[in-house]
Structure 1
Amino acid sequence: MNLRNILVPLGGLALVGFGFYAYGWAGVAAVVGGLVMWALLHFTRLVNVMKKAAKRPIGYVGSAVMLNARLAEGVNLMHVVAMTQALGERLSPEGEDPEIYRWTDGTQSHVTCEFRHGKLVKWTLVRPQADADTPTQEA
């Protein structure tokens, strides 16, 4: 169980208690208003990220190399979806931990990300090998 699931509600209750202790019912109203505003900001960000992701194909990213350079260990899945502006192609079975997603670009390079408990733990970039038979263009 994630400790954050316990500490965040306890912190909210502590803030409400402090608001009542310091300013009475006006303090409770101010703290509850601030907590509601905080929740609405997070909800709005989530809706905007999902709205942008809905407009792109699943598992597509503009540049897998740039995504690989921007990834950092410990970021959550919503942050990666916000960076790619697309949902990842799920490679792991539904409801199983770790969750594995893949994003592919137009050159068939792809980044495969592994998330444990919603946090990025490792990722790999795979770039296709250029065939020796195909001629390269020279400037």
Structure 2
Amino acid sequence: MNAARLLVPLALLGLLSAAWLKGGWPALALAASGVVLWALLHCTRLLAVMRRAAARPLGYVDSAVMLNARLRPRLPLLHVVAMTGALGERVEPASQPQAEAWRWRDGGGSSVTAEFVHGRLTQWRLERPPATSG
């Protein structure tokens, strides 16, 4: 299990407990409203990213080369979708059975295939069309 999935709820519980011990009901209400505000901001960002991605073609990105340059390990899938502005096209992962792979293509035929394990980017590759001599 990912440590952050356990650490965040424990930290929130600790914050609410400390607020209760320091100031009683008023402090607990203030801390709880801060936690709710944080959760609403997170949900609003998630919905805005998904709304923008739904308005674009599936698996399309303006420039696959620029996307390749901006990717880095352990980047969450939500951030990659926000960078591309589109949902990826699902492909079979090459490396691990628990991985999921998504592909984004641009108008020039280049594509980036990204593999995610537990929602985090593990590896990616840029594929370019063969050069034509002419």
Shorter chain as normaliser: what TM range?
over 0.9
Structure 1 gaps, min length 5: none
5 Å matches for 1:12-51? 12-51=12-51
Deviates more, 1:1-10 or 1:64-73: 1-10
5 Å matches for 1:103-118? 103-118=104-119
- After the TM superposition, list the runs of 4 or more consecutive aligned residues in structure 1 that deviate by more than 6 angstroms: none
Tell me the equivalent position of 1:79. 79
Deviation at 1:28, TM superposition (A): 0.5
Deviation at 1:129, TM superposition (A): 1.2
C-alpha separation in 2, matches of 1:118 and 1:97: 11
SS of structure 2 residue aligned to 1:24? helix
SS of structure 2 residue aligned to 1:112? strand
Bigger-Rg structure (1/2): 1
Structure 2 gaps, min length 5: none
Question: Which whole-Å deviations, capped at 9, do the CAs of 1:59-113 have from their partners, x for residues lacking one?
Answer: 00000000001111111000000000000001138xx620100000001100000
Taking only the aligned residue pairs, the percentage that are identical comes to: 53
C-alpha separation in 2, matches of 1:58 and 1:112: 14
SS of structure 2 residue aligned to 1:125? strand
C-alpha separation in 2, matches of 1:130 and 1:40: 48
SS of structure 2 residue aligned to 1:74? coil
SS of structure 1 residue aligned to 2:17? helix
Tell me the equivalent position of 1:125. 126
Tell me the equivalent position of 1:102. 103
Deviation at 1:25, TM superposition (A): 0.6
C-alpha separation in 1, matches of 2:98 and 2:55: 27
Aligned length: 131
